[in-house]
Chain A
Amino acid sequence: MLLESKGLTKYFGGLAAVSHFDIYVKQGEAVGLIGPNGAGKTTVFNLITGLFPPTRGTVLFDGKDITGKKPHLVAKLGIGRAFQLAPLFADFTVLENVVASFHLRPRSSLWDAFLNTATYRRNEEYILQRSMEILQLVGLHEVKNNLAKNLPHGYQKMLGMARALAIGPKLLLLDEPIGGMSQDEIKLTRTAIEKMCKQGVSILLVEHNMQIMDLCDRVVVMNFGKKIAEGSLSEVRENEEVVQAYFGGKHAA
């Protein structure tokens, strides 16, 4: 098991944003996490990546307990994340964004960087080359010298994914990777995600748009912070509780 959360609970004041939430991702698996707005999907991501600590429950990654660990330590263990909003360094160019994201592997010491040693120059050369490969993969190599803040929304999201890839993640958390994208951009992103899956990166994906959910081996549905269904996409679609959550039940109508 690559990622496993047990009884994950987060209270904001009296509100249980996430309660007793269990989810697991196996090595090489792509798992979808869906649910209506405000269901707690992004909070789950924030709990996994350590942006804030859970009220209760544990998160295991690669056999290690990462509950409440600082975000940069979680990243170090191999969890990459593409954010839903503002996923990038706005004042850097596209290429600089990816280069700056290569912080962990390879890692030059502060002295190496300051003294411009051979190790540092070799690392930087490698980073530049790898960054170009990643930009090629997500399809942003042609705009590599544009400022990130000047990119259209869809490209910014793709850049967010490219940045997350720079840490060489074992698990990639994608928060609405195609939200607000044009059809062409969706196609590009889809291809990129498929390629990542082939390279053996496990993926946990939050998305409303069903156009890429078929990439997932398994789907988990949540509502009001709780898991309400789990299974293949077609199984989940048939689930009554899920239909109710999305389209409203008898009372809501």
Chain B
Amino acid sequence: MTEKQGQGKLPRIVIYTGLLAIVLSLPLFIQSRYLIHIFNLTLINIIAASSLRLIAVSGQLSLGHAGFMSIGAYTAGALAKHLGWTPWVTMPLGALATMAVAVIIGYPFARLRAIYFSMVSLFFGIGILAVNQVLEKFTGGYAGLIGISPLFSGSKVANYYFFVGLTVLSLCVLYRIEVCRIGTTLKAVAQSHVVASSVGINEAGYRVLALAVGCFFAGLAGAGYAHYNSVLSHSAFNLLASVNLLVYVLVGGVGSFAGPVIGTAVLIIIPELFRMLKGFVPFIFAAIMILVIFVMPQGLAGLPGQIGSWVEGLRQRKGTAHAP
């Protein structure tokens, strides 16, 4: 809704095409298979974090988003492994299955708001791991699910282009939802469910809608991960994974669409750059978070606007210093 100050100077379309061109040409400059692998993980996490943000826009902070990702991942993985279906079918099915679960649990969840929603989503995220154990026959349980058919066997670069496409497509859908009336209504529900329902907005329905769409993309990200990684380990979707997604969103800036994209990229790629200091990565992570929380309440996405106001503040202070 509110335009960031720094973005107004160049037409948005130029910025986006420029960014896309850089992203598409990255494999030309970077030979390291390892770095491309990191980029792929970043792209998957960008889809997941952005989908988490859509749920946050409706006023619900989910603490079990990785749990939803795991539904997509295991659905796709199990279908591919046990029935031998192609990834092109299992991935959409994984996303749809996640969405279906979100709708089913969404209605009872929608009665709860704010912190209570966060709590049940937390329990859900933990509970789904237990379900994973119960369905050991299909999911592999603690041993993990191995031998899932890969998307593009061997080629990291082919996978990279696939995930760039998937991310762009997902972001376009999420962006359109946010800028049209649906997004406005979700934001209205987040601000006051009492006022929203007084103008005829089915606030519970809209919160379930946000959860369903958000979980569709979480499932898609999970399914993509399953076929990319070929192995699903039990710990990939634990509570820490959910918290990490939330941190990507918050550090990037929950108020801005670009927030989770920037947050994920910075928090995954920067620790990789300091790999030789591996033991210190958690500290770097923490330092970035503390810095953002104290200095940049709008997250990294709000940085251009914030720098503008700092510069303005400095200039004003100088102006008064020179005055007699």
Report the separation of the CA atoms of residues A98 and B185 in the bound assembly, to the nearest whole angstrom.
12
CB pair A103–B182 under 8 Å, yes or no, is no
Q: Which of A85-135 contact B (CB under 8 A)?
A: 86-92, 96, 99-104, 108, 110, 113-114, 116, 120, 124
Cβ–Cβ < 8 Å partners of A113 in chain B = 180-182
Cβ–Cβ < 8 Å partners of B176 in chain A = 114, 116
Cβ–Cβ < 8 Å partners of A81 in chain B = 198
Interface flags, B160-185, vs A, CB<8A=1, else 0: 00000000000000001100111011
Interface flags, B229-263, vs A, CB<8A=1, else 0: 00000000000000000000000000000000000
CB pair B184–A88 under 8 Å, yes or no, is no
Q: Besides A71-B198, A75-B199, A92-B191, 11 other CB < 8 A contacts?
A: A70-B197, A72-B200, A75-B200, A83-B194, A86-B195, A92-B187, A103-B199, A103-B200, A113-B180, A114-B177, A167-B199
Listed by A's residue number, 9 A-B pairs whose Cβ atoms lie within 8 Å are: A51-B194, A89-B195, A90-B192, A92-B187, A100-B184, A100-B187, A120-B181, A163-B199, A164-B198
Cβ–Cβ < 8 Å partners of B83 in chain A = none
Tell me the smallest distance from the CB of B170 to a CB of chain A, in Å: 14
**8 nearest CB pairs, A to B:** A71-B197, A75-B200, A104-B200, A101-B199, A89-B191, A113-B180, A72-B197, A113-B181
Interface flags, A62-80, vs B, CB<8A=1, else 0: 0000000011100110001
Report the separation of the CA atoms of residues A109 and B181 in the bound assembly, to the nearest whole angstrom.
10
Whether B22 is near chain A, meaning CB under 8 Å from some CB there, is no
Cβ–Cβ < 8 Å partners of B194 in chain A = 51, 71, 83
Report the separation of the CA atoms of residues A108 and B1 in the bound assembly, to the nearest whole angstrom.
20
CB pair B192–A80 under 8 Å, yes or no, is no
Whether B79 is near chain A, meaning CB under 8 Å from some CB there, is no
Interface flags, A145-185, vs B, CB<8A=1, else 0: 00000000000000000011011000000000000000000
CB pair A96–B198 under 8 Å, yes or no, is no
Tell me the smallest distance from the CB of A55 to a CB of chain B, in Å: 21
Whether A49 is near chain B, meaning CB under 8 Å from some CB there, is yes
Binding site for A on B (CB under 8 A): 1, 176-177, 180-182, 184-185, 187-188, 191-192, 194-203, 209
Tell me the smallest distance from the CB of B289 to a CB of chain A, in Å: 24
Q: Which residue of B lies closest to A108 (CB)?
A: B181
CB pair B192–A86 under 8 Å, yes or no, is yes
CB pair B192–A89 under 8 Å, yes or no, is yes
Taking a contact as CB atoms closer than 8 A, the residue among B185, B197, B202, B203 that contacts A100 in the complex is B185
CB pair B180–A100 under 8 Å, yes or no, is no
Q: Which residue of B lies closest to A50 (CB)?
A: B197
CB pair A76–B1 under 8 Å, yes or no, is no
CB pair B184–A99 under 8 Å, yes or no, is yes
Q: Which residue of A lies closest to B192 (CB)?
A: A89
Cβ–Cβ < 8 Å partners of B195 in chain A = 83, 86-89, 163
Report the separation of the CA atoms of residues A89 and B196 in the bound assembly, to the nearest whole angstrom.
8
CB pair A167–B200 under 8 Å, yes or no, is yes
Cβ–Cβ < 8 Å partners of A87 in chain B = 195
CB pair A104–B187 under 8 Å, yes or no, is no
Among B185, B187, B188, B201, the one with the most A-chain Cβ atoms within 10 Å of its Cβ is: B188
Among B181, B194, B199, the one with the most A-chain Cβ atoms within 10 Å of its Cβ is: B199
Report the separation of the CA atoms of residues A87 and B188 in the bound assembly, to the nearest whole angstrom.
12
CB pair B187–A116 under 8 Å, yes or no, is no
Tell me the smallest distance from the CB of B15 to a CB of chain A, in Å: 22
Question: Given contacts A108-B181, A163-B195, are A92 and B201 in contact (CB under 8 A)?
Answer: no
Cβ–Cβ < 8 Å partners of B196 in chain A = 89
Cβ–Cβ < 8 Å partners of A89 in chain B = 187-188, 191-192, 195-196
Report the separation of the CA atoms of residues A163 and B191 in the bound assembly, to the nearest whole angstrom.
14
Q: Which residue of B lies closest to A90 (CB)?
A: B191
CB pair A110–B182 under 8 Å, yes or no, is yes
Report the separation of the CA atoms of residues A81 and B198 in the bound assembly, to the nearest whole angstrom.
6
Report the separation of the CA atoms of residues A164 and B199 in the bound assembly, to the nearest whole angstrom.
7
Cβ–Cβ < 8 Å partners of B191 in chain A = 89-92
